Amino acid sequence: MKLALFDLDNTLLAGDSDFQWAQFLIEQRVLDREVYEARNIEFYEQYKAGTLDIHEFLDFQLKPLARHSREQLDAWRSEFIQKKIMPLIAPGAHDLVAKHKLERNVCIIITATNSFVTAPIARILGIDHLIATEPEQKEGQFTGRVSGIPSFREGKITRLEQWLDKHNLTWLSFLESWFYSDSLNDLPLLKKVTHPVAVDPDATLEGYAQQNGWPIISLR
């Protein structure tokens, strides 16, 4: 058995779904542009620089979910997927996923972006398993808080190992493992797999990949 892990934003997607979701809500006038746009850009720059405080960001990102009904959120999300996400799917993403599925590898998207935004994207990409940051829910409504450990940096390893344990698996269950990512934030998990692959990487990850002989590919 073999394991294939895929980061989502700026890897399988040629853009960031978390950033785009906030921008979409701003464009829909759900969020005030003056208040939210500069903050959204600031958080995105922190993420790219590797300095993001994930809990501060999630407080910003998840609170709007608590202010609206699930019915309304679902309607916005459907429009968001069509308008913002479909054009961002990297040209090579489907072929890469199909290659691993053809080899019957266990395929998982593992992303810091919350599962409300990313679950339909995983389905579009044909990947059954998703490990994402989980928004807390009570009686079917979002509370605006995070549930459990965010799937970010070292948290991706923790969440993956929790997933493996739930499925009666460990790292030793897999002869080989791949992780495809663009981001310096994913170095902890990239170092854990047998086949780390830098995909359209940021400058830090590109340099690290070159120094360590990791493959560097583009899906765009």
Please tell me which residue, 63 or 197, carries the higher pLDDT value.
Answer: 197
**Mean pLDDT of the region 189-204:** 98
**Mean pLDDT of the region 130-137:** 96
Strand ranges (DSSP E) for the chain?
Answer: 2-6, 106-114, 129-138, 141-147, 176-181, 195-199, 216-217
Confidence class for position 60, pLDDT limits 50, 70, 90: confident
What pLDDT, on the 0 to 100 scale, is given for residue 174?
97
**Mean pLDDT of the region 68-79:** 95
Catalytic residues: 7, 9
- Look at domain 1-213 and name its CATH class: alpha beta
Helix (H, G, I), strand (E, B) or coil at 147: strand
Q: What is the mean pLDDT of the chain?
A: 95
What pLDDT, on the 0 to 100 scale, is given for residue 104?
96
- Among the residues of 106-184, which ranges form H helices? 115-124, 154-166
- For the chain, give every domain's residue range: 1-213
Show the tokens assigned to 215: 């493959």
DSSP string across 15-30: S-HHHHHHHHHHHTTS
Sheet holding 2-6, edge to edge: 141-147, 129-138, 106-114, 2-6, 176-181, 195-199, 216-217
d(CA 128, CA 108): 7
What pLDDT, on the 0 to 100 scale, is given for residue 34?
84
What pLDDT, on the 0 to 100 scale, is given for residue 154?
97
What pLDDT, on the 0 to 100 scale, is given for residue 139?
87
Show the tokens assigned to 26: 């701003």
What pLDDT, on the 0 to 100 scale, is given for residue 203?
96
Residues 150-185 have pLDDT tens digits of 999 999 999 999 999 999 999 999 999 999 999 999
Q: Which region among 83-87, 89-93, 138-142 has the lowest average model confidence (pLDDT)?
A: 138-142
In 3D space, the residue among 142, 133, 162 whose CA is nearest the CA of residue 54 turns out to be 133
Residue at token pair 């990949």 = 209
> pTM for this structure?
0.94
pLDDT at 107 over 90: yes
pLDDT at 64 over 90: no
Cα-to-chain-centroid distance, residue 119 = 10
What pLDDT, on the 0 to 100 scale, is given for residue 35?
82
What pLDDT, on the 0 to 100 scale, is given for residue 59?
87
End-to-end CA distance of the chain: 29
Q: Which region among 50-64, 139-153, 205-219 has the lowest average model confidence (pLDDT)?
A: 50-64
